[in-house]
Structure 1
Amino acid sequence: MFPGEQAPTNMMRWLLLDPVARTEVLLQWETRWAPAVMPHLRHAADLNPQVPALADLERDILNDPVAGPVYRRCAPAPVPHFDGEELPFSHPVHGPGHLINCLAEPVSSPGVRLMIAFFTADSPRVDVHATNVPIPVRTNMPTS
């Protein structure tokens, strides 16, 4: 799912600050992804002012020339309910498609958000270098 096959250390930081994520992976970042996730960050930062990682991330976003203006515009919005929403995504192996997002808040960890995403390709890619071409099996072999 991630370029270089390495998951980011901080998913929210990757979603909002990584230039490759914003331009190549999270399609329509400014109009679809940022408005879907920025209010969640703002809400978490407001509820947890004692958590330095949230304050640091919010500060870095505000100082970012791309994310900062979008954050100022989108973050104050009410927290959106995007459970089940399809967001445009470019998979590094399967190409363009959509992630269907499923959000949960574990009962044992109030305030924590768990996101499970299912990818659906827009159209299948054909691998012209595939070597797994089906070989016909002959069932009526002579018995000499």
Structure 2
Amino acid sequence: MLELTAPLAEGQAVGRLLRAWRHRMDRRSAHGSLGGPHRSRGRLSQADVARLTGVSEGWYRALETGTRRDFSDAFLQAVADVLRLDEAERLTLFLGVSGRRPPEEHTAPSPPPAGVLDLLEVQNPHPAYLSDESWNVVAANATMAHWFPWVREPRPNLMRWVLLAPEARTQLLDWEDDFARVYLAMLRIAANRNPGSPHLRALIGDLLTDADCRRIWSDEHGVVEHPDGHRIRLRLPVHEGAVVEVTSQVLLPVASRDLRFVIVTRNDAATAGPDRRPAP
């Protein structure tokens, strides 16, 4: 049995992975990018990867040997692209070298996994929905649509309905304190997490056309990531004027990290009645 007499040097584990990932690459697949009178057979060398990522051979060699350097996200992304790393390998490279996750890419969102959609439906009779990083509602179960019919409209957005829809200010009780201040505080974190997102910039611009939202945005400095366990009171048409207190629970699906899975549960014991049945 192999006995380790000393811990692995910092970076060594990732360095071994990098060498394995580089050795699995057929150099001919990168031949056109390398240019010049280079040999076309064999595996990529450290010099090859350095040339393809635009750094010196010594700089790339430091990455493979675990030597501490201030490696930028752009360089690590370039290495991952050259070595054709998949999502899990790219994550391992970033965490092992810098302790950071790869920066999020703002690409067209993929459809929610079928299993997540199935899980959404089994939450009935509790309202449940999926929203993306800009609070677009990408899926909702039948009870959510029964309580909040606006989720069936084209391109429904939670922030826009809560903060801009006139009916929201009467259906969501304590609108300013329990909704507007909390939702705008979430937007502050989102805007700093993804400063390059055109969708978030457009959303914030639309919301700040409202005088109340603009005042709260200017006066308040609170930040909230996810209001998990947020207790709120509603007076919805589906409840025929009755005030209903609910709690929203926020989950983050591992398979779709850009989505929020939100379940709304009533705080009373009632489980029957017309408001508990999905719309036909």
TM norm structure 2:
0.38
Distance 2:208 2:233 in 1: 24
Please state how far the C-alpha of 1:82 moved relative to its aligned partner.
2.8
SS at match of 1:32: helix
2-structure distance, mates of 1:32, 1:62:
18
Determine if the alignment matches structure 1 residue 83 to structure 2 residue 228: yes
Kindly report which structure 2 residues correspond to 1:1-144, keeping only aligned pairs within 5 A, or say none.
1-2=147-148, 5-7=149-151, 9-21=156-168, 23-74=169-220, 76-79=221-224, 82-94=227-239, 95-120=242-267
Contact 1:62/1:72, CA 8 A, preserved across alignment: no
Larger radius of gyration: 2
Measured in 2, the distance between the counterparts of 1:108 and 1:73 equals 37
Q: Letter of the aligned partner of 2:150 in structure 1?
A: Q
Residue segments in structure 2 that go unaligned for 5+ positions in a row: 1-146, 275-280
Distance 1:64 1:58 in 2: 10
Amino acid at match of 2:232: L
Q: How many residue pairs end up in the alignment?
A: 121
Structure 1 Cα separation of the partners of residues 246 and 218 of structure 2: 25
Q: Retained in 1: the 8 A contact 2:189–2:225?
A: no
- When residues 67 and 78 of structure 1 are mapped into structure 2, their CA distance, relative to the original with a 3 A threshold, is closer
Residue 114 (structure 1) shift: 2.5
TM superposition shift of 1:111 = 4.9
**Mapped partners of 1:48, 1:101: distance in 2:** 24
Tell me which of the two structures has the higher relative contact order, counting C-alpha pairs closer than 8 angstroms and 6 or more residues apart: 1
Distance 1:38 1:114 in 2: 19
- Maintained 8 Å contact 1:84/1:100: yes
Q: Secondary structure at the match of 1:19?
A: coil
| Secondary structure in structure 2 of the residue aligned to 1:63 | coil
Q: Which residue is equivalent to 1:135?
A: none
Question: Which piece of structure 1 moves more, 91-100 or 25-34?
Answer: 91-100
Residue 63 of structure 1: how far off its partner (Å):
2.0
**Superposed CA offset, 1:27-60 (max 9, x none):** 1110111222221122112211222221111111
> C-alpha distance in 1, partners of 2:205/2:163?
12
SS of residue matched to 1:33: helix
Is the Cα–Cα contact under 8 Å of residues 90 and 96 in structure 1 kept in the other structure?
yes
The residue type paired with residue 79 of structure 1 is V
The Cα shift of 1:120 comes to 4.7
Mark the CA change 1:31 to 1:79 in structure 2 (over 3 Å): closer, same or farther: same
Q: Report how far residue 81 of structure 1 moved.
A: 5.2
